[in-house]
Amino acid sequence: MIGGGYVGLVSGACFAEFGTDVAIVETDPGRLAALREGRIPIYEPGLDKLVADNVAAGRLTFGDDIEKAVQGAEAIFIAVGTPTRRGDGHADLRYVYAAAEQIAKCMNDYAVVVTKSTVPVGTGRQVSDLIRRVRPDLDFDVASNPEFLREGNAIGDFMRPDRVIIGTDTTRPGGGERAREILRRLYRPLYLIEAPILFTGLETAELAKYAANSFLAMKVTFINEIADLCEKVGAEVHDIARGIGLDNRIGRKFLHPGPGFGGSCFPKDTLALVHIAQDAGSPMRLIETTVDINDTRKTRMADRVIAACGGSVSGLTIGILGLTFKPETDDMREASSIPILHRLAAAGASLRAFDPVGMVPARPLLPEATQYCTDPLDAAAGADALVVLTEWNEFRALSPSRLRDVMKGDVIVDLRNIWDPQAMRAHGLRYSSVGRP
């Protein structure tokens, strides 16, 4: 497994749990040292135990020697980062190609080289060409096996997936059957729970990942716009979500309105799909619009807070509950909190923020003057207004009367709809949420 980041670590630990011997190659010395000492550099429920168990069982090892890991391996996964390239918004494939080249130099026998990182359509074939150029003597296959892990639920998603997609080069003699056989063996425990495993061509698997994430991002954006409309016409967005979601063709999930989607996948993958489609001469206007709506939404959410405070937040203290892009993660990438807090600070507000695990990674990304609090009530203490940005469970149980007592003002803007409007209003709070009259 080349790369001990989020995807490499979760996939590596889970494959080891399936009974496979896994060597994770991590070249960042700090990260490697942490992993070797059993410290998991990311927050993912259950991962530390899974790693520890499999290290103890001798199935999972960490190192920086790619040659040692590659030699004798039947499957070699590339799970390195593919950040968005500055300037043109394309995925930066530098690390993928560097990994492929190193793998090629070290391989000593047949293996299937699998891209697990989310890569643009055509990358698998490029990886294949690159390896062939470096090692014309070698027999190998390439495959694409995109991950569909949700942060905070990654182990469950890996162990009990809705589906696994494996793309191989069907244009090669043998159609990549040898590669399929190895990957089928690797995923054997999933056959027992009857998880669908789809075998496709390389490009199909690569595009499927973008299609899945973009569809979900579009679904979230759709319900966000319905929520806005609900507010104008006096309708209730959760009843609509339930009303439409019970139709199996639509489905109930990903219809929760909020301050716009964030995270390491949706923003990056929607943008990448826009570029892939434009480059292929088949633009996807639905996704272009989704990206655009979501970007403006984040700014508009700050304006909503300003409006709730009577048109100005200058000189006001605003408490912020939740900073991460969603609960159960410390990930701040593309979190709505970033543009929202910057806009509120620029409008003259003092900010008091609390997040159960995200405050350390948040610090460099948020306005410098932000004060970090010890708990939710501390963030609310003395605040003129309180804003909910992430739906951490521990916020749900906060008592409205306690909030009322500790706050100076009475404005609550709940952008995740975690509280009951009637209960809040009954305690004299001026409560507004998303898509609820």
Q: Side-chain half-sphere of 256: how many Cα atoms within 13 Å? A: 10
Q: Does 161 bind ligand UDX (CB under 6 A)?
A: no
326 is in an annotated binding site: yes
Cβ closest to ligand UDX, residue 343 vs residue 416: 416
Structure tokens at 62: 């960490």
Instruction: For residue 414, state whether it binds ligand UDX (rule: CB under 6 A).
Output: no
Q: Tell me how far apart the alpha carbons of residues 389 and 157 are, in angstroms, rounded to a whole number.
A: 25
Helix axis angle, 266-279 to 202-233, nearest 10°: 120
Give 237 or 349: the residue with its C-beta nearer to ligand UDX. 237
- The answer to whether 370 and 351 are in contact (CB under 8 A) is yes
CB 328 within 8 A of CB 45: yes
**Options 6, 62, 95, 261; binder of ligand UDX; rule CB under 6 A:** 261
Q: Does 436 bind ligand UDX (CB under 6 A)?
A: no
Cα(22)–Cα(19) distance, rounded to whole angstroms? 9
Q: Is 148 in the site for ligand UDX (CB under 6 A)?
A: yes
Residue 230 annotated to the active site: no
Residue 124 or residue 327: which is nearer to ligand UDX going by CB? 327
Residue of 32, 37, 33, 59 whose CA lies nearest to 48: 37
Q: For residues 220 and 284, which CB has a smaller minimum distance to ligand UDX in the complex? A: 220
Contact positions with ligand UDX (CB under 6 A) in 211-230: 213, 216, 220
Q: How far is CA 62 from CA 43, 85, 101, 106, in A?
A: 18, 29, 20, 17
Task: List C-alpha distances in Å: 90 to 119, 273, 377, 388.
Answer: 10, 9, 42, 33
Indicate which single residue of 95, 266, 392, 419 sits in contact with ligand UDX (rule: CB under 6 A): 266
Indicate the pairing of strand 164-168 with strand 140-144.
antiparallel
| CA distances in angstroms from 393 to 206, 254, 326, 356, 418, listed in the order given | 35, 18, 11, 10, 9
Residue 429 as a binder of ligand UDX (CB under 6 A): the answer is no
Helix (H) or strand (E) holding 412: strand 411-414
Q: Is 263 annotated as a binding residue?
A: no
- Considering the rule CB under 6 A, would residue 43 count as an interface residue with ligand UDX? no
Spot the catalytic one: 230, 265, 309, 373.
265
268 is in an annotated binding site: yes
The C-alpha atoms of residue 403 and residue 419 are separated, in whole angstroms, by 12
Do 210 and 273 contact (CB within 8 A), yes or no?
Answer: yes
User: Exactly one of 44, 147, 328, 330 binds ligand UDX (CB under 6 A); which one?
Assistant: 147
Q: How far is the CB of 150 from ligand UDX (least distance, A)?
A: 4
- Shortest distance, CB of residue 158 to ligand UDX, whole angstroms? 11
What are the backbone dihedrals phi and psi of residue 91, each rounded to the nearest 5 degrees, phi first?
-70, 135
State the sign of the Cα–Cα–Cα–Cα dihedral 146, 150, 156, 162. Answer: negative
Please choose, out of 29-37, 147-155, 195-203, 283-291, the segment that lies near ligand UDX by the rule CB under 6 A: 147-155
Annotated binding residue 148 = yes
255 binds ligand UDX (CB under 6 A): yes
- CB nearer ligand UDX, residue 24 or residue 301: 301
- Point out the residue whose Cβ comes nearest to ligand UDX: 265
Determine if 8 is a binding residue for ligand UDX (CB under 6 A): no
196 is annotated as contributing to ligand binding: no
Annotated binding site for substrate: 148-151, 209, 254-258, 262, 326
Annotated binding site: 31, 82, 118, 148-151, 209, 254-258, 262, 268, 326, 333
Give catalytic residues, as residue numbers.
265
- List interacting residues with ligand UDX (CB under 6 A): 147-151, 213, 216, 220, 254-256, 258, 261-266, 325-326
